[in-house]
Chains A and B, each alone.
Chain A
Amino acid sequence: MTGAAPLAELDDLRVQFGAGPDAVQAVRGVSLHVMPGEVLCLLGESGSGKSVSMRALLRLLPPQARVTGGVQVEGQEVGRLSGRALRALRGGTAAMVFQEPMTALDPVYTVGQQIAESVQQHRGGTRAAARARALEVLDLVRVPDAARRLDAYPHELSGGLRQRVVIAMALACRPRLLLADEPTTALDATVQIQILVLLRGLQRELGMGMVLVTHDLGVAAEVSDRVAVMYAGQIVEQGPVRDVLRRPVHPYTRGLLASVVRADGVEAPGIPGSPPDLRRPPPGCAFAARCPAAVGACSAAVPAEQKVGPGRTARCVRVGESVAA
């Protein structure tokens, strides 16, 4: 990392849902940062806390969530923003692309109206100007025949087009940080690759920082610069995408890579067992119960984040050995 300031930062973020003995500790001490123009991928399986961590950046968590720790976007402490500054952040400085394009769009307004409304809200200006901007961003996300699509309702569009519209809406106010929550999971394979190529192109073209949440190693490999692998509410491994995918250090990352069903017919072993109950997280390493390399020390205390290479960290007590091996 050079001296440049990070675009967004989480510092020991903890999120708990509910209270009392049944409270779910969804995020348990996540620290990460995204530099301007960088794509960070939060990779993890369901319930790993990846989506919750990302939503914390925009304070988009439900009211029963108890959030502690630092959340900064462009140097502003998000937790302390007033209503007005928060609205400027959401959709202005930082915008979000959701998983399900059908529910992310309001079915009773046309595509053009929805994009223009967001533009007017953040940048003011006339309706005509907002509509012109809407047309511009639809062209930007390569919606064919954009002028006509401006007056289409969401249900009149195919899944792929809808997701392009959702992306256009996010880009309408020229955000410097784009957050994408499983943006291609609901899409077909031939459409998914189109959207990924588009997102990657736009991110480069517009120089945005991007945080992408996904469960799919393939998606991470396609678009990210750095990867943070999450398990049971913690980042277990973090580093440049090539290093993490080629030489995973943490046993969970290795298990995940080995679980990818490959076309060559080699049996993928998967990881036995399932993640711990986050109402009662284990005192030690959350992965210890499923880990083939677990030793006694694993269950004693949560392993600290250790530096394992340039820009790489991992939370594993045996990390020294595995790097050597």
Chain B
Amino acid sequence: MNSQTLALPAAAPVRLPPRPGYWGMVGGRLRRDPVTVVFCLLMLAIVLAAVFAPLISPFDPYKESIIFRLKPFGYRGHPLGTDELGRDILARILYGGRSALLMGVGPVVFAGLVGGSLGVLAGYAGGWVGTLVMRTMDVFYAFPSVLLAVAISGAMGGGMLNGMIALALVFIPAVCRVAETATTQVRGLDFVEAARATGAGHLMIVRHHLLGNVLAPVLVYASSLVSVSILLASGLSFLGLGVRPPVPDWGLMLSTLRQAIYVQPWVCAVPGAAIFVTSMCFNLVSDGLRSAMDVRLR
């Protein structure tokens, strides 16, 4: 048999243009998904609004007014009305986005790094190392996440940084579990065994074969946690544990405005809507990311 007959099909699929590599492929797929594109843009708008709040905000978010308290939408140039101290709601929503996004993304990034590494370690090493790590995580996992966040940030005293640490600690076990499951799964696959059969060391196998395959599920899971984190952070602020007044924060606004629910119900709903829309953005983008990152799909 010569190499001529072995050469591959004349009918092979049409030659593809220069290939973009994995991330290029993911990006291309994301761009072809209208829902994800729309919510990505919305997310971008929210981020930009928070970053450039000082430039676009019509009012100073701290400026109080005894006369114009709890006014409705559109009252005297306040497009979203005013709160119980007469501060402009729109300005506070714009500024409040900063703490919301920080509290949403910060703990997740931290938990992703720590939990992800621990999970890969536990999954790859297995044996007693794996058991030790995972049982420790289980201890944290046993508490309801809200209670745990409240307890930790309560113990450390309120404040934004402590709130973020509390949330990160809540997320670490969950991320760790996802990373461990993915690692264990990938570790048993033939191509990892084939890599071992080439005499590769552990570090090399983890770097070339494990991380890439574990990254996708962890990234997708973490991106879905952002919305949870925003909600929990709002909850903490609502309970007086996260951001402290008078700093603008969506959860805090919800907490203070709730007493005015019968006076200006629509105004009170604004911070809630902001939380809802932002967390939904992250959720839907996370969904889009998940399908785009699945290499097996076409």
Whether A and B touch directly in their complex, counting CB atoms under 8 A apart, is answered as: yes
- Interface residue A290 (Cβ < 8 Å from any Cβ of B): yes
Q: Among B11, B13, B14, which residue has its beta carbon within 8 angstroms of that of A290?
A: B11
**Set of chain B residues within 8 Å of A22, measured between Cβ atoms:** 298
**Residue B139 interfacial (CB < 8 Å):** no
Q: B11 contacts A272, CB within 8 Å? A: no
A280 at the interface (CB under 8 A from B): yes
Q: Which residue on A lies nearest to B7, using beta carbons? A: A272
The answer to whether A273 and B14 have CB atoms under 8 Å apart is no
Residues of B within 8 Å of A275, CB to CB, are 11
Contacts of B12 in A (CB 8 A): 273-274
CB pair B9 A274 closer than 8 Å = yes
Check if A273 sits within 8 Å of B8, measured CB to CB.
Answer: yes
B interface secondary structure, majority: loop
Interface-centre pick from B1, B9, B10, B14 (highest chain A CB count, 10 A): B9
Q: Chain A residues with Cβ under 8 A from B298's Cβ?
A: 22
The total of chain A residues at the interface (CB under 8 A) is 13
B11 touching A276, Cβ below 8 Å:
yes
Is the CB of B5 closer than 8 A to any CB of chain A? yes
Shortest Cβ gap from B250 to chain A (Å): 40
Whether the pair B14, A280 counts as a contact (CB closer than 8 A) is: yes
Question: Is A146 an interface position by the 8 A CB rule?
Answer: no
- Decide yes or no whether A277 CB sits under 8 A from chain B: yes
Interface string of A248-292 (1 = CB under 8 A from B): 000000000000000000010100111111001010000001100
Q: Which residues of A contact B14 (CB under 8 A)?
A: 280
Q: What would 28 A/B residue contacts be, using CB atoms closer than 8 Å? A: A22-B298, A267-B1, A269-B1, A272-B5, A272-B6, A272-B9, A273-B8, A273-B9, A273-B10, A273-B11, A273-B12, A274-B8, A274-B9, A274-B11, A274-B12, A275-B11, A276-B11, A277-B11, A277-B13, A280-B13, A280-B14, A282-B11, A289-B9, A289-B10, A289-B11, A290-B9, A290-B10, A290-B11
In the complex, besides A22-B298, A267-B1, A282-B11, 16 extra interface pairs with C-beta distance below 8 angstroms are: A269-B1, A272-B5, A272-B9, A273-B9, A273-B10, A273-B11, A273-B12, A274-B9, A274-B11, A275-B11, A276-B11, A277-B13, A280-B13, A289-B9, A290-B9, A290-B11
Residues of B participating in the A interface, judged by any CB pair closer than 8 Å:
1, 5-6, 8-14, 298
Chain A positions within 8 Å of B, measured between CB atoms, are 22, 267, 269, 272-277, 280, 282, 289-290
